[in-house]
Amino acid sequence: MASGVKPRVKVPKKAAAGEAVTIKTLISHKMESGQRKDKEGNAIPRSIINRFTCEFNGTMVIDVTMEPAISTNPYMEFEATVPEAGDFKFTWYDDDGSVYDTSKSIKMA
Amino acid sequence: MEFSRRETLAMGLGAAVLTVLPFRVNAAAEDMIAEFTGGADLSDSGVELTAPEIAENGNTVPISVSAPGATAIMVLATGNPTPGVATFNFGPGAASQSASTRIRLAGTQDVVAVAKLADGSFAKASAAVKVTIGGCGG
């Protein structure tokens, strides 16, 4: 597991039924592209998060396939429909097999 | 400074490789588009790509894509060592088929977005981004 990985997610606390909410996510991860070289000229092996998904009560909102061209500390912003109160589940999949997840609940206004 | 015959030949070879390389990179991007679309034609409307005209730092270039009704959007950086950037697949819970992220660009180049629209057709948009400092660790 890459060290210091910390997901941060911003979801509104409340929403009206059927409302579209904007979700912002950021996860601290160095996203080593595999293109860089160290001082001795050896290539630093690739180590990135290759997939991110967001689900709301089991319904898929977005599923992103990520390549090395995504910046350090990957940031994602997107919109989701909230039909009822429930939980957003966010999952990041690392190259090394680790899975980072977090969830946020949202209430009806 | 004098060059030996061997050095001159090597330089000529290097220059030839440099001129050929951009075409090969573009070909890699075109291959990825063909794989994504299955060789279908690309229309020019239906997808929007927002990127800055000038990016001071190629390490983190904010972009956003939007394609109403699309099921998937693929983003490519044609001038990067590997052209793939990200593929956004939208599920039934998505309120709008749009997303923003930050990407790395190795240098001044075109960023391309290809969207798979609801009716199964494909649309393409591109934006030229000038990069002052490249983002692939030189």
Structure confidence by residue, pLDDT tens digits, B59-117: 899 999 999 989 999 999 998 888 899 999 999 999 999 999 999 998 899 999 999 99
Chain B 36-75, residues with CB within 8 Å of chain A CB atoms: 59-61, 64
With an 8 Å Cβ cutoff, are B60 and A66 in contact?
no
On whether ipTM exceeds 0.95, the answer is no
* A→B interface, C-beta within 8 Å: 20-21, 33, 35-37, 54-56, 59-72, 74-81
Q: What ranges in A1-109 are assigned the alpha helix state H?
A: none
> Domains in chain B, please, with CATH?
5-131 (2.60.40.2470)
Q: What gap in Å lies between CA B51 and CA B65, rounded to an integer?
A: 9
Does residue B4 carry a pLDDT above 60? yes
Chain A residues with beta carbon closer than 8 angstroms to that of B84: 67, 69
Query: Under CATH, to which class is A6-35+47-108 assigned?
Result: mainly beta
Residue B17, SS3 per DSSP: helix
All residues at 6 or more sequence positions from A78 whose CB lies less than 8 Å from its CB, including other chains: A22, A23, A54, A61, A62, B88, B94, B96, B98, B99, B100
Q: Which residues of A32-61 are buried (b: 16+ CB within 10 A; e: fewer)?
A: bbbbeeeeeeeeeeebbbebbbbbbeeeeb
- Beta-sheet strands, E only, within chain A: 6-10, 14-15, 19-28, 49-56, 59-66, 75-82, 86-94, 99-108
Chain A residues with beta carbon closer than 8 angstroms to that of B82: 67-69
With an 8 Å Cβ cutoff, are B99 and A62 in contact?
yes
Chain mean position to CA B99: 16
All residues at 6 or more sequence positions from B80 whose CB lies less than 8 Å from its CB, including other chains: A69, B25, B104, B105, B106, B109, B136
CB of B120 within 8 Å of a chain A CB? The answer is: no
Question: The whole model's pTM is what?
Answer: 0.82
Q: Where in chain A are the domains? A: 6-35+47-108
Q: What gap in Å lies between CA B36 and CA B117, rounded to an integer?
A: 12
The proportion of chain B whose per-residue pLDDT surpasses 90, expressed as a percent, equals 46
Chain B residues with beta carbon closer than 8 angstroms to that of A61: 90-91, 93-94
Does residue B20 carry a pLDDT above 60? no
Residues composing chain B: 138
Structure confidence by residue, pLDDT tens digits, A32-72: 888 888 888 888 888 999 999 999 999 999 999 999 999 99
Q: Which residue of A has its CA nearest to B99?
A: A78
CB of B109 within 8 Å of a chain A CB? The answer is: no
CB of B114 within 8 Å of a chain A CB? The answer is: no
CB of B105 within 8 Å of a chain A CB? The answer is: yes
